[in-house]
Amino acid sequence: MDLQAVRTFVAVTEAGGFQKAAADLSVTQQAVSKRIAALEAALGVRLFTRAPRGAELTIDGRAFLPHARELLRAAERASASVRPGSRPLRVDVIASRTAQSSLMRAFHGAHPGIA
């Protein structure tokens, strides 16, 4: 499943229409329509009822929406987990009575908020 299409689905839902979502995503309305069509084809269901006033979620679209939002949150967590600076420093110390161990304990004691 294409996360860009899922992101577009959520944007259309929040914007209430394809044109507003396209502006919010800085893409053309045609690109939004193609992404939604591809997502609908992949899922085998219609997600929106298109109307002159905008787009409304179908029953399937309403069922998919919370899962789509969770997919985007999970993708963000996955990306954040490998970003530089997002992981704590790990120092393995074999003996607890070495200078390195003492320095690490002192640093941690002085800066408890740093992982």
Backbone angles phi, psi at 106, to 5 degrees: -65, -45
Token pair recorded at residue 69: 């939002």
Average pLDDT score over residue span 53-61:
92
What whole-number distance in Å separates Cα of residue 100 and Cα of residue 88? 17
C-alpha distance from residue 62 to each of 47, 51, 80 (Å): 8, 17, 28
| Largest Cα–Cα separation, the chain | 74
Q: Looking at residue 19, what is its pLDDT?
A: 93
Tell me the domain boundaries of the chain.
1-115
Above 80 in pLDDT, residue 115? no
The CATH class for the domain spanning 1-115 reads: mainly alpha
d(C-alpha 52, C-alpha 87), whole Å = 49
Per residue in 83-108, pLDDT (tens digit) is 776 666 666 666 667 777 778 778 87
Q: What is the pLDDT of residue 3?
A: 95
pTM above 0.75, yes or no: no
107 to 45, 114, 115: CA distances (angstroms): 57, 9, 11
Mean of pLDDT over the chain: 88
What's the gap between Cα 23 and its chain centre?
Answer: 20
What is d(CA 20, CA 6) in angstroms, rounded to the nearest whole number?
A: 16
